[in-house]
């Protein structure tokens, strides 16, 4: 019997993905349906609903759920959920679609799902600002200051503000996982597939390291801390889209494979990938990570410094603190059961003679090897030596090769991405 945490929502894995004859019938039916082109973010969300990663969600949210999630982090049925999962459509599409109608959801023309429409609701500029302020604004941040910079500098806010003026809600039937199973074969896994691997290992206390960057010593240390105190760690990489300048998933996975091969005990680590795009919602996204990881059988989400953050929008440990403030529904099925594994800012310290954190190292700045993302990228692209102990040579070699192949234009974009967040 599985010792793993049950999926979120108390209904088991809720998978909208069709199989066999049902799948074929749905694809055929979709030919006659109105086609709606969806965003990259919505594609990731849709596939997660397909494979059970977003259990108990079975479709995009209606207005009541959207509002409840923004304001209270609860679905209207009282289940915890931290971020809106909505699908935007144009005014033209909105005019053509009626509740009760079935539509086909496509990305770059390729069919991903059908939806039985429940509700079409307008998202005014006010509504979008309401969502952005509740989902993307840091606790300590002044509202005025947030709006001065977020529309130009926060990729998540930019994305919401650029959404089309209506949302369409309804239950979905997913017919494809897109390019992920093939492109990331061996890494991309559904919750059921990962649970099977975890069960085969007999794990119970399973930590996840969220990764959207290559693994340096700090990430390795977080993962290894988890290995010391849990049955094992899942290095869980985002394989959907990132902001410009971030390192593509193929390169990251190559780095991780190498690191795992040379520096980890295989019995205690699994590498896996999930198909979402980054929202950069900081604390709220940290909660989303914990929520979908529960579906993957994971019950400890490692939360380090500035988890899922961007720029200076969030306090360094806001993504840790938010776990102490979330609603706790009486029904455990409706509660978030994946707990945070909170780790402080980590680095190599020469006096400590090893990796350490602000909690364990009493020494000074001059003893610590800390490198900003910007500086690292500059050193790598220029082929300059990286300070000792910052990363593993085998990983840095892969990154050097990647950076040396980049064109100057991409290079400049990267500089803008500045000192990136921790995970």
Q: Using CB under 8 A as the criterion, what x/- string covers residues 404-423 for binding a copy of itself?
A: --------------------
Alpha carbon separation from 364 to 182, 217, 317 (Å, rounded) = 47, 19, 21
Is residue 249 a contact point for a copy of itself (CB under 8 A)?
no
Q: What is the largest CA-CA distance in the chain?
A: 68
230 CB burial (10 A radius; 0-12, 13-18, 19+): buried
CB distance 386 to 370 below 8 Å:
no
The tokens describing 302, both together, are 């490692």
Count other C-beta atoms under 10 Å from residue 324's C-beta. Answer: 8
Torsion angle of alpha carbons 32, 34, 39, 45, nearest 10°? -60
Q: Which of 27, 33, 352, 370 binds a copy of itself (CB under 8 A)?
A: 352
Q: Which of 103, 115, 169, 355 binds a copy of itself (CB under 8 A)?
A: 355
211 DSSP β-pair partners? 237
List the end-to-end C-alpha distance of the chain, in Å, as a whole number.
33
Is residue 353 a contact point for a copy of itself (CB under 8 A)?
yes
Is residue 215 a contact point for a copy of itself (CB under 8 A)?
no
Q: Which of 14, 27, 134, 358 binds a copy of itself (CB under 8 A)?
A: 358
Under rule CB under 8 A, which residues in 257-276 are in contact with a copy of itself? Answer: 262-266, 268
Q: Which of 146, 357, 376, 399 binds a copy of itself (CB under 8 A)?
A: 357
> Is 213 in the active site?
yes
Find the part of the chain contacting a copy of itself (CB under 8 A) among 8-16, 88-96, 97-105, 344-352. Answer: 344-352
Is residue 316 a contact point for a copy of itself (CB under 8 A)?
no
Least distance in angstroms from the C-beta of 216 to a copy of itself:
13
Catalytic residue among 41, 212, 217, 400: 212
Is residue 235 a contact point for a copy of itself (CB under 8 A)?
no
Residue 171 dihedral angles phi and psi, to the nearest 5°: -70, 140
| 3-state SS assignment for residue 243 | coil
The tokens describing 86, both together, are 């909505």
Q: Which residue has the tokens 């990663």?
A: 53
CB-wise, 27 or 352, nearer to a copy of itself?
A: 352
Find the part of the chain contacting a copy of itself (CB under 8 A) among 113-121, 125-133, 226-234, 405-413. Answer: 226-234
User: Cα–Cα distance between 274 and 257 in angstroms, integer?
Assistant: 16
Is residue 225 a contact point for a copy of itself (CB under 8 A)?
yes
Least distance in angstroms from the C-beta of 43 to a copy of itself:
36
Q: Are β-strands 354-357 and 368-369 bridged in parallel, bridged antiparallel, or unpaired?
A: unpaired
Is residue 362 a contact point for a copy of itself (CB under 8 A)?
yes
Is residue 227 a contact point for a copy of itself (CB under 8 A)?
yes
> Is 65 in the active site?
no
CB-wise, 337 or 358, nearer to a copy of itself?
A: 358
Alpha carbon separation from 218 to 133, 238, 271 (Å, rounded) = 31, 18, 17
Least distance in angstroms from the C-beta of 173 to a copy of itself:
42
Q: Which residues are catalytic?
A: 212-213
The contact set with a copy of itself (CB under 8 A) reads 224-225, 227-229, 262-266, 268, 341-344, 348, 351-362, 389
């Amino acid at each position: 019997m599985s010792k793993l945490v049950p999926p979120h929502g108390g209904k088991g894995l809720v998978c909208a993905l069709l199989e066999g004859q049902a799948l074929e019938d749905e694809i055929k039916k979709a030919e006659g349906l109105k086609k709606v082109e969806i965003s990259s973010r919505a594609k990731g969300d849709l596939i997660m609903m397909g494979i059970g990663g977003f259990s108990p969600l079975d479709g995009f949210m209606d207005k009541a759920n959207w509002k409840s999630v923004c304001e209270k982090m609860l679905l209207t049925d009282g289940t915890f959920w931290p971020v809106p999962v909505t699908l935007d459509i144009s005014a033209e599409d909105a005019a053509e679609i009626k509740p009760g109608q079935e539509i086909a959801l496509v990305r770059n023309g390729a069919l991903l799902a059908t939806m039985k429409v429940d509700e079409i609701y307008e998202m005014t500029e006010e509504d979008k600002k309401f969502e952005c302020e509740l989902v993307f604004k840091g606790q300590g941040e002044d509202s005025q200051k947030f709006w001065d910079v977020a529309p130009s500098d926060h990729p998540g806010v930019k994305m919401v503000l650029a959404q089309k003026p209506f949302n369409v809600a309804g239950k979905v039937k997913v017919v494809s996982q897109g390019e992920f199973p093939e492109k990331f074969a061996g890494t991309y896994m559904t919750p059921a597939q990962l649970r099977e691997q975890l069960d085969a290992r007999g794990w119970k206390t399973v930590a996840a390291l969220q990764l959207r960057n290559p693994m340096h010593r700090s990430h390795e240390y977080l993962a290894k801390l988890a290995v010391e105190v849990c049955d094992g760690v899942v290095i869980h990489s985002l394989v959907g889209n990132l902001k410009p300048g971030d390192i593509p998933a193929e390169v990251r996975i190559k780095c991780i494979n190498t690191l795992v091969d040379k520096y980890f005990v295989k019995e205690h680590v699994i590498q896996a990938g999930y198909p979402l795009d980054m929202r950069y919602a900081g604390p709220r996204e940290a909660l989303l990570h914990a929520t979908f990881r529960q579906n993957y059988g994971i019950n400890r989400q490692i939360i380090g410094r500035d988890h899922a953050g961007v720029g200076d929008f969030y306090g360094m440990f806001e993504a840790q603190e938010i776990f102490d403030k979330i609603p706790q529904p009486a029904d455990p099925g409706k509660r978030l059961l994946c707990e945070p594994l909170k780790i402080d800012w980590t680095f190599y310290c020469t006096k400590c003679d090893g990796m350490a954190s602000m909690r364990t190292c009493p020494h000074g700045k001059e003893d610590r090897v800390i490198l900003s993302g910007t500086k690292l990228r500059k050193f790598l692209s220029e082929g300059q030596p990286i300070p000792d102990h910052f990363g593993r040579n085998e990983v840095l070699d892969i990154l050097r090769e990647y950076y040396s192949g980049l064109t100057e234009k991409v290079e400049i974009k990267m500089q803008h991405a500045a000192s990136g967040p921790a995970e």
